[in-house]
Chains A and B, each alone.
Chain A
């Protein structure tokens, strides 16, 4: 949320500068006041969690565009524009000023009314995003339906489906063996999806009919150079477990417990961890020497929100072995950051971006075409002819007093000395 005093002060400066810009007679001063307005708006962008826009506003608008304005004002010498034809122009346009003011006040009223009568406190909730993770050791390859809609197909053990959007509220989720008819559902369950959430449906448990669990995930932005890790225990055969970090390799007794006493079917609170490699292990909560699954050199990347599911996997002799299945998801970038804007720009807004690039190219060509001046050929030809047409003969002729050039411009024969009489 935004504090009121910076907003009031900067807003007042912006309005004052805009009024002064309109009252100022000198166009250069007006341009400088407009720069003040733009700097104020850049500050307001910062208040609105838009640092990238603030940056662009300052560099592109207050910098580049206003420099262009000032340059053209000075180039044309247009600091002051006098009325073209005082008598005639004023008389014809006298009614214009009050009309403009009345129209503008009307505009203010029309825009302002919805602000005063409307209510803007309710925001629409986003639809929930759902994905499915198969960690049921005996289920084989499965398809997953929400009602009649196929939301994931061909999930083998340890596979997670991409996130799909579903309607909020109760959803009948059913799991069938892949390539089998939907009627032969292996497991079905009704799950309630909260609006505006990200949920993972985890199919786990031994036997032909896996259990379905709904795990809410937090994909919101994480601090710099860190990731969020959420752990879910999905192996009912295993005891209550703990997550330990063995620490550095050659240092004794630096083992830390990351998560203690996670019972089957439970989700641990998300933890934020710095990026880097860790030596983790899943151990029996009652006996830390009993390592159930070892995760040496597990890499924590940055800006992710990972889910680690502790599951049971069938191994060759038919017994269950505890494994940890990581599901990697990128965390949402911070709102308004250059990264968030770049992500949107290169995914959703790629086509508009390219159209814009074409528009800029057209503008570039347009600016050249509009200001291009044909070199004045006629004048150059005149200068050229004059140079060529002052040969020695014409100089002599002017001193001698006889026109010695013929009508077609070619030099005539020099007159004889006798004929001239000198």
Chain B
């Protein structure tokens, strides 16, 4: 028995939705950030599945680019979190409702 592309998309969709839940429900800024990474991974899986279906290597390039952008985003995002922690002594996102700098 073989796996169709749909199965990969289903799995990717479930992981994406779990990531969304994490972004919406978690209070720890680092965990919110990790949930975003989970969402990115889920989309990567979907793109790779489509690339496999169509036999086009372009999808792999996009996944490669997404991974690279994610690396850059993590560097900047964690730098932001460290800066916020210095200012507020906390990374609970509930305490960040005032944009006073």
B-side contacts of A3, CB under 8 Å? 1-3
- B75: CB under 8 A from chain A? yes
Assess whether B76 is in contact with A367, with CB atoms less than 8 Å apart. yes
17 CB contacts below 8 A, A to B, read A1-B2, A34-B37, A45-B45, A50-B63, A65-B74, A69-B78, A81-B90, A82-B92, A93-B94, A96-B24, A100-B25, A104-B20, A335-B57, A336-B60, A348-B61, A353-B65, A367-B78
Give the distance to chain A from B3, nearest Cβ to Cβ, in Å.
Answer: 4
Assess whether A107 is in contact with B17, with CB atoms less than 8 Å apart. yes
A-side contacts of B92, CB under 8 Å? 81-84
B-side contacts of A412, CB under 8 Å? none
- A251: CB under 8 A from chain B? no
Interface residues of A, Cβ cutoff 8 Å to B: 1-4, 7, 11, 14-15, 18-19, 21-22, 27, 30-31, 34, 37-38, 41, 44-45, 47-50, 52-53, 56-57, 60-61, 64-65, 68-69, 72-73, 75-76, 78, 81-85, 89, 93, 96-97, 100-101, 103-104, 107-108, 111-112, 115, 120, 123, 335-336, 340-341, 344-345, 348-349, 352-353, 356, 359-360, 362-364, 366-368, 370-371, 373
Q: Is the interface of A mostly helix, strand, loop or mixed?
A: helix
Assess whether A115 is in contact with B10, with CB atoms less than 8 Å apart. yes
A-side contacts of B83, CB under 8 Å? 370-371
B-side contacts of A56, CB under 8 Å? 64, 67
A370 to B83, CA, bound (A): 7
For A61, A64, A96, A123, which residue has the most chain B Cβ atoms within 10 angstroms? A61
A340 to B59, CA, bound (A): 12
Assess whether B48 is in contact with A48, with CB atoms less than 8 Å apart. yes
Within 8 A of A (CB), among B1-55: 1-3, 5-11, 13-22, 24-28, 30-31, 33-35, 37-38, 41, 44-45, 48-49, 51-55
A-side contacts of B69, CB under 8 Å? 356, 359
Assess whether A69 is in contact with B22, with CB atoms less than 8 Å apart. no
Minimum CB distance partner of B59 in chain A: A50
Within 8 A of A (CB), among B77-99: 78-83, 85-86, 90-92, 94-95
B-side contacts of A360, CB under 8 Å? 68, 71-72
A96 to B97, CA, bound (A): 15
A-side contacts of B63, CB under 8 Å? 50, 53
A-side contacts of B95, CB under 8 Å? 84
Assess whether A61 is in contact with B70, with CB atoms less than 8 Å apart. yes
Assess whether A19 is in contact with B81, with CB atoms less than 8 Å apart. no
Q: A37, A52, A72, A348: which contacts B78 (Cβ < 8 A)? A: A72
**Given A41-B44, A341-B64, A366-B76, is A7 in contact with B15 using a C-beta cutoff of 8 Å?**
no
Minimum CB distance partner of A338 in chain B: B60
B-side contacts of A364, CB under 8 Å? 75
Minimum CB distance partner of A365 in chain B: B76
A107 to B15, CA, bound (A): 12
Q: B27, B54, B70, B75: which contacts A83 (Cβ < 8 A)? A: B27
Assess whether B28 is in contact with A60, with CB atoms less than 8 Å apart. no
A-side contacts of B91, CB under 8 Å? 76, 78, 81
A249 to B52, CA, bound (A): 47
B-side contacts of A73, CB under 8 Å? 30
Minimum CB distance partner of B80 in chain A: A370
A-side contacts of B27, CB under 8 Å? 81, 83
**Given A3-B3, A21-B22, A69-B74, is A41 in contact with B79 using a C-beta cutoff of 8 Å?**
no
A-side contacts of B74, CB under 8 Å? 65, 68-69
**Given A11-B11, A111-B13, A341-B57, is A104 in contact with B94 using a C-beta cutoff of 8 Å?**
no
Q: A78, A120, A344: which contacts B58 (Cβ < 8 A)? A: A344
A-side contacts of B1, CB under 8 Å? 3-4
**Given A1-B2, A104-B20, A111-B13, is A34 in contact with B34 using a C-beta cutoff of 8 Å?**
yes
